[in-house]
Amino acid sequence: MKQTVALLTWVILHAAVSYAAIEHPELMVPHAAQPPKLDGRSDDACWQIPPPITEFRRVDVARRLPTQRTEAWITCDEDALYIAAKCYEDRMEQVQSVETGVDGSVWKDDCLEVFLMPGQPFYYHLAANLLGTRYDARHDTQAPPQSQEPGQWDGDWAVASHRGKGYWNMEIAIPFACLELGTRRLAEPFRFNIGREQRRLTEFSCWPAAGFHKFDEFAVLKDLRLDSERYGLSLGDIVMGEGVPGPNRFAARVAEEPVANATADIRVRVRRLPHGVAQVHGGRYSSSLGGELALDYSITLTGGWVEVVVEALDNQQRTRASLCDVFRVPSAVEAALNLPLLYVSDGCVRLSGRVAISAALLPKVKLRGAVISGGKRGRELSIPVVKDSGAFSASIPIANLKPGSHLLETRLTAAGLTAEPVVNGFTFRVIVGPME
């Protein structure tokens, strides 16, 4: 047992020494007087200053030159890191862009991938295709290789692309505030890798590492000049909310705070994906080491995907730290018919499910149901809802319905949810049974 422990200790120490001994390429990052417009065209003045990164190599043993050339640029200001790439392509009509889902599998398309490691123990993987579909994840560099699955992480970053003649462009803006920096990580090197997936020839290339996820070969970005007081704030024990319609609550503990007696604002932005208008909630906070930051906010949308971004702002309204989460918000009423095909003799249509809204609103819920047939609405009946779980089960009479298709409609109202009732419809069919 002692020999095993000794061997394991040697392996860990040897790995640490080997990692430290690797000579990482260094990349000076020029500061932009004006940030890029982020339209995918890469014609802004800030892209004319840095020399392009041209030494992309294939991800294979020989590290061969790719057949499709790539050039990349990187610049920054005090708020964000900006990356641009020009991806040459002989057959632009075959450039693949299909994936549209939230955190979609963009690597199945032609895409650009960026890897950032602003200090241990994490590096961040951000990728996008030409439709603007984004994928992001956080990887633990200290996890055993067999368990290095990407961790759940969403960042508040932006991307734009452009198709040209014989090439496609992409621009990416990554705010420093979304990278969970904190005082300790700010003292470590900021490392970088960039890769391209070319799907027509299944050709993967990157710079400078020999592979996309080889974090021990990432380049070191120099001269970023990050403000240690601004980005030294670090949060832990984070709860972003329930992700359900109605009241939600953000809460976090201050893990690192370099500014004494700091006071500023928390801002929560809630928007429906992909192109919804953000609803903004805000409040004042005092940031002290070990203290709690908390803010109540509401999700008024029902059904679909919602992005929630929480920002901690300083007295100059600059973002010090930002947190992002993407929720699949359930429909306010999630239910199904027990049987969508009924005999006339069954006498009623049965619906069961749950009211999927904030627990705080359940005691105020009113759920009613009625059958609509031939454009006429039947008598509306109250449907009891269990106040602590939102579960319900209802039987609506259909004795007078003729054979054919009909609709069971539910209407949900709850103080603090929406001004108008939330309406759902469930189609069923009535037929004459063999014994009728």
| Domain boundary residue, one of 313, 329, 345 | 329
Q: Are residues 53 and 197 in the same domain?
A: yes
Cβ neighbors of 389 (< 8 A, separation 6 or more) are 354, 362
Q: Are residues 343 and 321 in the same domain?
A: no
CATH number (domain holding residue 116): 2.60.40.1190
CA distance 393 to 385: 8
CATH number (domain holding residue 406): 2.60.40.10
| 3 belongs to a structural domain | no
Q: What proportion of the chain, given as a percentage, has pLDDT over 70?
A: 93
- Give the range of the structural domain holding residue 247, as residue numbers without chain letter: 229-329
CA distance 345 to 321: 63
* Number of domains into which the chain is organized: 3
pLDDT at 418: 79
pLDDT at 15: 38
Instruction: Record the pTM.
Output: 0.85
| Domain boundary residue, one of 186, 205, 226 | 226
pLDDT at 147: 56
| 180 belongs to a structural domain | yes
Low-confidence ranges of the chain (pLDDT < 70): 1-22, 144-151, 436
Using the structure block, give the residue that is written with the tokens 């889902």: 101
pLDDT at 149: 63
| 436 belongs to a structural domain | no
| 425 belongs to a structural domain | yes
| 13 belongs to a structural domain | no
Asked if residue 121 has a cis previous peptide bond (ω within 30° of 0), the answer is: yes
| Domain boundary residue, one of 226, 258, 288 | 226
| 1 belongs to a structural domain | no
| 6 belongs to a structural domain | no
